[in-house]
Amino acid sequence: MMKKMGGPASSIDSSQMKENMKRIGEMSPDELKTSMNQAQQQYGGQKQYMYNASMELKNQGNADIKAGKYAEALKSYSRAIDNLKMFAGEDVSQLRLSLLLNSAMCHLKQKDPQKTLEVCEEALQISPKSVKALFRRGLARVDMGQLAEGVADMKLASKLSPEDKTITAELDRVEQDVLSKGVSAAEIASALEKVEASSNTPAASSSSAPADLDKKMEQFYSNPDMVTQATEAMKKMSPEEQIIRQNEGKLIP
């Protein structure tokens, strides 16, 4: 299966990009609107293709987990995550979250707490109150000797999902073990306060994903003057400035 589909920027060198941006700057408002509509359709098509490919990879990874092939599952999940890097939207975020959570489980099975921690941290950037991410990070932290912090993660996971008997049972077992090793209830309570505060922060948007093109286009087309403004602004820019603005997602006013 194809790992990732390269977008226009991946196959166009600097001189070609400058020429393309020069042509865009010379377009009339109607030509620019048509060109941007075509770009929107292309983006949507690429996004759907890569989303479907990532779902297939996720399913393959899930099958590998059931067979105990954790290294193979991680390869599928990693490829799927790579496929989604250039796309945005709630559907993409939720699929990426699921892939990260499954990856964390694989790292736990492989007894790699450091990787588990890293993947869970990434998942929590998408969903700060993800029960699975908190629980698996807690297990990883305990394995790494971060005992109070690990129990705190598990306590918050249990608080968010009190009906989950697996989490409750594992929390009881781990907490008793941690307390027996000299960690105080006060230390755990202090760590829990920090975890709860962190979980209340807004979810971070993916820095590798572009701004939501659909929303940009909707705003753009709802105000015809914006098309004219964009055309006139681009005519005054050098090709280098246009490239910088494009990379920053600011060609649309």
> Are 125 and 203 contacting, i.e. CB atoms less than 8 angstroms apart?
yes
pLDDT at residue 236, rounded to an integer: 64
- What the chain holds in terms of domains, given with CATH numbers, is 46-127 (1.25.40.10), 128-202 (no CATH)
* Residues with Cβ within 8 Å of residue 190, at least 6 apart in sequence: 148
Task: Considering only residues 34 and 143, tell me which one the structure prediction assigns the higher pLDDT.
Answer: 143
Over residues 61-73, mean pLDDT: 97
Summarize the confidence of residues 79-108 as an average pLDDT.
95
- Coarse DSSP helix, strand, coil percentages of the chain, rounded to the nearest 5 percent: 75, 0, 25
- What average pLDDT does the structure give for the chain? 81
Closest CA to 231 of 43, 41, 38, 23: 23
Say whether pLDDT at 163 is over 90.
yes
Rounded-to-integer distance, Cα 178 and Cα 88, Å: 41
Assign 5 a pLDDT band (cuts: 50, 70, 90): very low
pLDDT for 20: 59
Residue 2 CB partners (closer than 8 Å, separation 6+): 53
- Tell which wins on pLDDT, 211 or 69: 69
Total length of the chain: 253
Which among 93, 92, 104 has a CA at the least distance from the CA of 131?
104
Task: Kindly state the average pLDDT of the residues 43-60.
Answer: 90
The token pair at 29 is 């408002």
Read off the amino acid at residue 176: Q
Q: What is the pLDDT of residues 202-225, one digit of tens each?
A: 876 544 444 455 555 555 555 556
- Confidence tier at 252 by pLDDT (50, 70, 90): very low
Give me the pLDDT at residue 15, please. Answer: 64
What does the buried/exposed string (b/e) look like for 44-62 if buried means 16 or more CB atoms within 10 Å of the residue's CB?
Answer: eebbeebbebbeebbebbe
pTM for the full predicted model? 0.71
pLDDT of residue 202: 81
Query: For residue 12, is pLDDT > 80?
Result: no
Given pLDDT bands bounded at 50, 70 and 90, which one contains residue 14?
low
Q: Is residue 241 pLDDT above 90, yes or no? A: no
Q: Answer whether 67's CB lies under 8 Å from 109's CB.
A: no
User: Which tens digit of pLDDT belongs to each residue from 171-197?
Assistant: 999 999 999 999 999 999 999 999 999
* pLDDT confidence bin for 128, thresholds 50/70/90: very high
| For residues 58-72, average pLDDT | 97
